[in-house]
Chains A and B, each alone.
Chain A
Amino acid sequence: MFERRITIVVGHFGSGKTEIAVNGAVRIAEGGVPVSLIDLDVVKPYFRTREARELLCGLKVEVVAPDGENATADLPIVLPRVRTLCRDTSRKVVVDAGGDDTGARVLGSLSDVLAGQDPDLLLVLNFRRPFTPDVRSAVAMAREIEAAARLKVTGIVSNTHLMAETTADIVRDGLRMAREVADVLGVQVRAVAVEEGLGRVIAAAEGPGCEVFPLRRIVQPPFGTPRLGVPRSGPLFVLR
């Protein structure tokens, strides 16, 4: 993944596009290649690529997103630099699109500059999300995104997970369904993404016949899942 000059990450709302785009840009930068990460997310208001701007700048990833007050606005802002970067062959570009066909519509507006650049359009799939529980719904969503983006999906990233509750079976089931979607779309599953630290899950997913892409969760709230190590007390609910 992320071999072509432009990689665009699309998928259903909440499928994990932002984390995959951020991790991909970091990987490119670590290889010493100049890279820009374009935050085109006009759908979700929190947990956007721009919130990792400081960290990413330190890792030599240029973050292209509204700044100042506009960074935390719920406005569909597309910066002029986005079009320039699409044509700038001196840099690699990773695009984090917003969710669903709604988010992909912004890509449609850039189709005149994107079309000649042979971009990789990676579809991220998490079958544990409520609106893509099965192959049929995932294919339907892919078609909607393609129509809105005016681009064809060129590869799939299998990202089925339940955060800290992810098991090897969840990853394997997701990969199996992702392959079925890939067959319908006539593309390959390019990688299976697994959160870093879930070592046993990665081990179980090994040998899937595609790349295992270790994900570091970067854009997340400032606390973990409540651990039960601290003794609890008190009534959850008192019924008289």
Chain B
Amino acid sequence: MAKKLMKGCEAIGEAAIRAGCKLFFGYPITPQNEIPEYLSHRLPQVGGTFVQAESEVAASNMIYGAAGTGERVFTSSSSPGISLMQEAVSYLAGAELPVVIVNIMRAGPGLGGILPSQADYFQATKGGGHGDYNTLVLAPWSVQEAADLVADAFDLADYYRNPVYVLGDGLIGQMMEPVLFREDRKPLKDLPPKAWASTGWKGDRPRAVINSLYLDADTLERHNQDLQAKYATMRRDEVRWQGYGLDEDYDVLIVAYGTVARVCLTAVEELREEGVKAAILRPITLYPFPYEALRQAASKARAVLVVELSAGQMVQDVQLAVAGARPIHFHGRTGGNLVSPDEAAAKVREVLDGRSQEVRDA
């Protein structure tokens, strides 16, 4: 297939279809409406089903039910809508159901605004709903990577029987870039048949009852221990990140994800031309976070700078990784404002000449 010029939202929708997903349940919210819009056109063409639910609460419980059949299931929303889905996400994690959830983040809190944000980092990476659970979180920085990570997300969800988030700021959903869908893509993992799926009992096996209710304390504790062992495997095996300039000398290590990392890369290229040495570590998985890679990369730098479209949420994971070995600085914008390359470059200069205050209490 020739390259297409696609909006991030369209590429996400197409990637889901190509991953074999034929079931979408969702509710409109800006800035991700083009995902349901695209799928409402495309799913009927491939024999799939598109349902606009009456709310995000309904949509998230529809994906719970549909995922129980073993089919590949998908929903998307933006920040306030994702908040409404958190009860169901906890149930999905508890019942070990594979679904892919795309959050194209907008500025909050509350209804906030429709402009880009990365302020759902805590919600996505630290559980989000009630109980002890985690979800894999993949954060693309381009339209192509958004499409690729959606494909990966379906494989990972099936492999771990766990919800997987693809987390993009509003720009990821709205910007347009060339995209190529490879016909020869191979699954990331060996995926066994879904023997656990509830597809109708024919008397030849135990009934497949899908539930997150465990009234006996010891049974529920064992279930939690199993879940924790699964999350430990994810932390061991699924860390993804990319470095830019890490093999060269650098004084400042920038940590940024999503489109902000592209802004920072533009800044780093400008800074290098004027002799200021900075490098970037871009987490691609936010859960699991690349603690060890970051610890090593930070050890080569004089200081670490975190840049985010939030008041400073990823800063806490950076602090855990760096563990006090280097000063950590932060630059963030909120409300839907973007960080500009000039702003990021200016902050790097401030870190180096002592005008920037390091983060102490995040």
Q: Residues on A close to B: CB < 8 A?
A: 13-14, 44-47, 72-74, 126, 128-131, 161-163, 165, 220-227, 229-240
Instruction: Give every chain A residue within 8 A of B338 (Cβ-Cβ).
Output: 221-222
A160 to chain B, nearest CB (A): 9
Partner of A231, one of B10, B244, B341: B244
Assess whether A234 is in contact with B243, with CB atoms less than 8 Å apart: yes
A229 to chain B: closest residue by CB: B269
Interface: B230 (CB within 8 A):
no
A46 and B284 in contact, given A221-B175, A240-B237 (Cβ under 8 angstroms): no
Interface: B142 (CB within 8 A):
yes
A231 and B6 in contact, given A46-B174, A240-B236 (Cβ under 8 angstroms): no
Instruction: Give every chain B residue within 8 A of A126 (Cβ-Cβ).
Output: 5
A13 to B34, CA, bound (A): 10
Instruction: Give every chain B residue within 8 A of A72 (Cβ-Cβ).
Output: 113-115, 336
8 tightest A-B CB contacts, nearest first? A234-B243, A46-B174, A223-B262, A74-B30, A233-B243, A162-B178, A128-B5, A230-B244
B17 to chain A, nearest CB (A): 11
A128 to B143, CA, bound (A): 15
Interface: B263 (CB within 8 A):
yes
A238 to chain B, nearest CB (A): 6
A-B Cβ contacts below 8 A, count: 123
Assess whether A238 is in contact with B268, with CB atoms less than 8 Å apart: no
Partner of A222, one of B34, B242, B341: B341
Assess whether A45 is in contact with B30, with CB atoms less than 8 Å apart: yes
Assess whether B171 is in contact with A234, with CB atoms less than 8 Å apart: no
A222 to B309, CA, bound (A): 14
Majority DSSP secondary structure for residues of B touching A: mixed
Assess whether A14 is in contact with B5, with CB atoms less than 8 Å apart: yes
B350 to chain A, nearest CB (A): 19
B171 to chain A: closest residue by CB: A221
A223 and B245 in contact, given A130-B4, A130-B14 (Cβ under 8 angstroms): no
Partner of A162, one of B5, B10, B175, B241: B5
A235 to chain B: closest residue by CB: B240
Partner of B263, one of A162, A222, A230: A222
Instruction: Give every chain A residue within 8 A of B171 (Cβ-Cβ).
Output: 46, 221
Assess whether B246 is in contact with A234, with CB atoms less than 8 Å apart: yes
B11 to chain A: closest residue by CB: A130
Partner of A233, one of B115, B174, B246: B246
Assess whether B262 is in contact with A226, with CB atoms less than 8 Å apart: yes
Assess whether B284 is in contact with A129, with CB atoms less than 8 Å apart: no
Partner of A232, one of B31, B41, B242: B242
Assess whether B10 is in contact with A165, with CB atoms less than 8 Å apart: no
A131 to chain B: closest residue by CB: B41
Assess whether B178 is in contact with A163, with CB atoms less than 8 Å apart: yes
Q: Residues on B close to A: CB < 8 A?
A: 2-7, 10, 14, 30-31, 33-34, 38, 41, 113-116, 141-142, 152, 170-171, 174-178, 188, 236-248, 259, 262-263, 265-266, 268-269, 272, 281, 284, 293, 336, 338-341
Instruction: Give every chain B residue within 8 A of A233 (Cβ-Cβ).
Output: 242-243, 246-247
A223 and B176 in contact, given A162-B5, A231-B245, A233-B243 (Cβ under 8 angstroms): no
Instruction: Give every chain A residue within 8 A of B240 (Cβ-Cβ).
Output: 235-238
B263 to chain A: closest residue by CB: A223
Instruction: Give every chain B residue within 8 A of A73 (Cβ-Cβ).
Output: 114
A165 and B178 in contact, given A130-B4, A236-B284 (Cβ under 8 angstroms): yes
B4 to chain A, nearest CB (A): 5
Partner of B248, one of A13, A231, A236, A238: A231
A237 to chain B: closest residue by CB: B240
Instruction: Give every chain B residue within 8 A of A161 (Cβ-Cβ).
Output: 5
A234 to B176, CA, bound (A): 27
A221 to B338, CA, bound (A): 9
Instruction: Give every chain B residue within 8 A of A128 (Cβ-Cβ).
Output: 2-5, 178
A45 to chain B, nearest CB (A): 5
Instruction: Give every chain B residue within 8 A of A45 (Cβ-Cβ).
Output: 30-31, 33, 114, 174
A73 to B111, CA, bound (A): 12
Instruction: Give every chain B residue within 8 A of A13 (Cβ-Cβ).
Output: 34
A14 to B293, CA, bound (A): 39
Assess whether A129 is in contact with B266, with CB atoms less than 8 Å apart: no
Instruction: Give every chain B residue within 8 A of A223 (Cβ-Cβ).
Output: 259, 262-263, 265-266, 341
A174 to B143, CA, bound (A): 22
Assess whether B114 is in contact with A74, with CB atoms less than 8 Å apart: yes
B242 to chain A: closest residue by CB: A234
Assess whether A234 is in contact with B241, with CB atoms less than 8 Å apart: yes
A-B contact pairs, 16 of them (CB 8 A): A14-B5, A128-B3, A130-B38, A221-B259, A221-B262, A221-B338, A222-B339, A222-B340, A226-B141, A227-B269, A230-B265, A231-B244, A233-B246, A237-B188, A239-B188, A240-B236
Instruction: Give every chain B residue within 8 A of A74 (Cβ-Cβ).
Output: 30-31, 114
Instruction: Give every chain A residue within 8 A of B248 (Cβ-Cβ).
Output: 231
A131 to B236, CA, bound (A): 41
Instruction: Give every chain A residue within 8 A of B243 (Cβ-Cβ).
Output: 232-234
